């Protein structure tokens, strides 16, 4: 696991841009993408760059259950606003949170992942060590599945909604087994509130109680952290 420590999230976005550039140069055609506050500086740098993704495919990690794609807190909307409207891809896939049969939707998404091998997967990390919406206890060999969000994740995401009660309680998430199939993984973490999770991910035992710890076993995992998130690394 390669650790890159930067001053702040702005510097982190610039470092991530270089990793995206290198991926494009070596011919990566499928990018796994993430949402949330963490990758915003990365997407801002991609938008400003001269990179062209019109011959590429994107596959997102997850989506809330019960939010239509045009809802301003859906991840489909987030991706359009932060990246796709400026940098369109040939095809962009997200789980359908409005699907009437979630099991069928999960199977459909697994087939999309199988059909488009991810060359670079972007991740954030939750305070409880989750990646995607794979909460503590998620199996390391998991595929796309319906998730009941933990209280800590709901509280963390409440800042994006008018009220905590408005935060969806379920999501569809790519599984850890699928995430680990990517050729390269880039995880970003910023701020002191992520320091515990980062330390456990990098230096703790590999355990399903800290889902991100499995990245210790990936052959090409890069972690970009700012000084605050790196504070508890030895």
CA distances in angstroms from 158 to 97, 168, 190, 229, listed in the order given: 18, 10, 18, 21
Q: Is 82 a catalytic residue?
A: no
Which residue from 6, 1, 132 is spatially nearest to 63, judged by alpha carbons? Answer: 132
Active site residue 226: no
Are the CB atoms for 117 and 181 separated by under 8 Å?
yes
Catalytic residue among 60, 96, 105, 128: 128
CB contact at 8 A, 127 and 191: no
- Per the annotation, the verdict on 128 as an active-site residue is yes
Question: Catalytic site residue 135?
Answer: yes
Exactly one of 63, 105, 135, 188 is catalytic; which is it?
135
Q: Which of 116, 130, 145, 218 is catalytic?
A: 130
Active-site entry in 62, 105, 188, 226? 62
Which residues are part of the catalytic machinery? 62, 128, 130, 135
């Amino acid at each position: 696991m390669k650790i890159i420590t930067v001053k702040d999230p702005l510097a982190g976005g610039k470092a991530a841009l270089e990793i995206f550039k290198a991926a494009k140069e070596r011919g990566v055609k499928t990018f796994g993408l993430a949402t949330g506050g963490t990758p915003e500086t990365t997407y801002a740098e991609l938008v400003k760059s001269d990179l062209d993704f019109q011959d590429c495919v994107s596959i997102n990690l997850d989506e809330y259950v019960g939010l239509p794609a045009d809802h301003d807190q859906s991840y489909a909307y987030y991706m359009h606003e932060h990246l796709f409207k400026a940098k369109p891809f040939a095809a962009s896939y997200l789980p359908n949170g409005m699907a009437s049969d979630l099991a069928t939707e999960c199977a459909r998404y697994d087939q999309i992942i199988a059909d488009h091998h991810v060359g670079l997967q972007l991740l954030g990390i939750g305070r409880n060590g989750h990646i995607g919406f794979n909460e503590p206890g998620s199996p390391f060999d998991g595929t796309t599945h319906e998730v009941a969000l933990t209280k800590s994740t709901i509280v963390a995401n409440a800042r994006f909604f008018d009220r905590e009660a408005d935060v969806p309680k379920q999501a569809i998430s790519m599984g850890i087994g699928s995430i680990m199939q990517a050729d390269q993984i880039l995880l970003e973490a910023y701020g002191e509130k992520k320091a515990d999770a980062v330390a456990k991910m990098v230096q703790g035992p590999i355990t399903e109680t800290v889902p991100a710890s499995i990245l210790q076993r990936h052959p090409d995992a890069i972690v970009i952290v700012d000084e605050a998130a790196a504070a508890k690394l030895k």
